[in-house]
Structure 1
């Protein structure tokens, strides 16, 4: 009896249509996981656009206009939270299920989810799947050559990271839903509706999306600090990033074993939350439309809630348009920074900001190398950080110019919604819902570039690194 070798079986499978598709996907992943991420994101957006366009997806059994379906699909997959339709009344039960499923796919990361599905199906994690998941968790990973041991998640830890993604998503969303469910029952919400809304809000909080199943948003819970506290907890945990959550699960008792990435993320996140809260108190305490009529305790809590939500959460207890211009600018800065790397939040990421400040401190002290927590940070990370910031600033600038021309609205209003779209925050001054179709497409492209653009750029730059065997003559331009 003739035995078929594994290589022969592999070759025979490669001659089938399934084998050819598999080989093509393997080739794309091998060459550039970041390019594969773009392909998967685009495919998911097209699929959800089609599904949202179906009459069964809308409450009135009518076809949703193409620009609204496209915008909703991008907002869902990119976990943004902006909308051009009333999310509470426009969609049917089927449409709302699509929203919840879509934000969880986008929040976990499409490459991480693909790797996780492969792990479940094959019960093993190959190198290709590890590279895909590693690209989702760390865009600066070099795809060729030895892996830098200082990176947040090593290839050998990718399997644990995938389990962390799945378990933490389910556990945190379930915990937040359990916190919200009894409060809704106490507020008189029917049991079935309370259960659904609890699940919906929990998913929107952890994925940092910010959609609401209620037509009035979370305004009815504006004074319910248990409800708002549960939302803040979900948003905060989602914005830290899955590598940080994995570290907590493993070494929460031994902070000395935390990596530089984890420490930078925590310190920068907490610092920005406190700074944001303090500035909102100073800027809005005399605004009768926002916090002016509140006592000291309520003002502090609402300011902290606002500081958390501008980091990418997307929920608001006040009308954003009522904020002072100074508060809008503060919100722009907080939104642009965003949350942690490999998290459900958007923005340029807190570690990017931390690296830039570390570089500035090192330059001021005359040091050649950046240092943090007793570790040296290589210069290539600084180049990636600068590239990410320039990419984000360019995207926001171009989009703002186009939206200004289309809408003829004030700069502070346009800038707020554009940065909210780029950083996948979901807060709005009301401009987004009033945009004509051409403006909707521009803002949808901004959301897409904000969610995948910085990751793709960073991964492409890291992947394109090559060893240069010569050095050109040095010359120093004047800077500053």
Structure 2
């Protein structure tokens, strides 16, 4: 999987290095082409140059194709991994279809991939129509430009990429619900994950039958969106550089939009660099947690965060098992969540340390940049293009690891689960 994404990044970088890819007709710097390609394939949205101003139409189309390929690739692979893990059968046996069992077959693989592609394209088409209408009727763009911007932002939002053809992202539409809400809806849909979306379609009115995955994803998504909206809005309510100059309704719309984008989308309708320390910290946390598993969102995933919360709750109550709804979560699943979370924290801390040494920016801004890159978010306080080549290289690696790492690690841990034939003597140690 890593090889395939790396190949896509290199191909994209080569295409973006062509003179025809830039508006000026000159070759882009290698670091700019590689950074943009990595950000597009990993559906992040961090940029070192202005997407709409620096790249030509050809360059923007290359970026759009890379976003689509990266988003579909991650969603497809993540969903197939989820099926493999849940069915507890080796990948080799499945792909060769050697055993006549009730597990995943090649026919099932084709069906899953077909449904993912169909769902993605239909969702993007619906959002593209809504945005085209908003741009054409509400902002007096020409029909051709409205269609182009509508399609670009629809693909970018559903795949949680955060690329925009506007130099100010979506700040010019901060009070326009006809633009902000379709984009937010696409981000949420893409970030929920394919398995959750289709389970909700089958049993939306029967929450008692939901799987542990769907129960945790839906509960945490709604909770984090609500908490993020309230926290960011209240923190920035009187800040004249962000929400202070807006009306009451527009403030809550902007706060909700900022909370949704922190799920790893990367668009912004307010100036991120002008946000206060409180809202930046809230955004850091939301970016690190990310969205749902087997979707286009990044981060450690709400399922990992939610599962650890259930583990803590069970420990506080003195219970020997962790239960979600009417299901008991195996201890191996709990260890996997802990491993993903701790390794992710270590990765962000190491990257922050390296970026601090490579730049003269404050810890607050550097940590925000590192969390954004690892969570494949794309939000920035404006320091991305100011970082030296080494710092930008760190972000490139961080985006790639953030996109591939948690999924690969979680799947590898799950598929390597094995039973030991012996147990060592038990000895407790002091904790805390």
The answer for the alignment partner of 2:45 in structure 1 is: 81
The answer for the alignment partner of 1:174 in structure 2 is: 125
Using a 3 Å threshold, how does the CA distance of structure 1 residues 416 and 191 change in structure 2: closer, same or farther?
same
Whether the 8 Å CA contact 1:138–1:342 is kept in 2: the answer is: no
Deviations 1:35-83, CA, capped at 9 Å, x for gaps: xx11111111111111111212222222111111111111011000000
The answer for the alignment partner of 1:226 in structure 2 is: 178
User: What pairs up with 1:221-300 in 2 under 5 angstroms?
Assistant: 221-300=173-252
Aligned residues: 420
The Cα RMSD (Å) is 2.0
Partner Cα separation in structure 1 for residue 112 and residue 200 of structure 2? 12
The answer for the alignment partner of 1:456 in structure 2 is: 408
Whether the 8 Å CA contact 2:373–2:398 is kept in 1: the answer is: yes
Would you say 1:162 and 2:136 are equivalent positions? no
Q: Find the partner of 2:90 among 144, 147, 159.
A: 144
Partner Cα separation in structure 2 for residue 398 and residue 137 of structure 1? 33
Shift of 1:135: 1.7
The answer for the alignment partner of 2:97 in structure 1 is: none
Deviations 1:300-348, CA, capped at 9 Å, x for gaps: 2211111111111211111111111111111100100000001111000
Shift of 1:158: 4.3
The answer for the alignment partner of 2:379 in structure 1 is: 427
The answer for the alignment partner of 2:80 in structure 1 is: 134
The answer for the alignment partner of 1:302 in structure 2 is: 254
Gaps of 5+ in 2: 95-102
Using a 3 Å threshold, how does the CA distance of structure 1 residues 139 and 436 change in structure 2: closer, same or farther?
farther
User: What pairs up with 1:389-428 in 2 under 5 angstroms?
Assistant: 389-428=341-380
3-state secondary structure, aligned to 1:300: helix
The answer for the alignment partner of 1:26 in structure 2 is: none
Whether the 8 Å CA contact 1:164–1:245 is kept in 2: the answer is: no
Partner Cα separation in structure 1 for residue 84 and residue 383 of structure 2? 34
Partner Cα separation in structure 1 for residue 21 and residue 131 of structure 2? 26
Partner Cα separation in structure 2 for residue 396 and residue 425 of structure 1? 14
Q: Find the partner of 1:64 among 12, 28, 35.
A: 28
3-state secondary structure, aligned to 2:262: helix
Partner Cα separation in structure 1 for residue 179 and residue 127 of structure 2? 9
Using a 3 Å threshold, how does the CA distance of structure 1 residues 55 and 438 change in structure 2: closer, same or farther?
same
3-state secondary structure, aligned to 1:376: strand
TM (normalized to structure 2)? 0.93
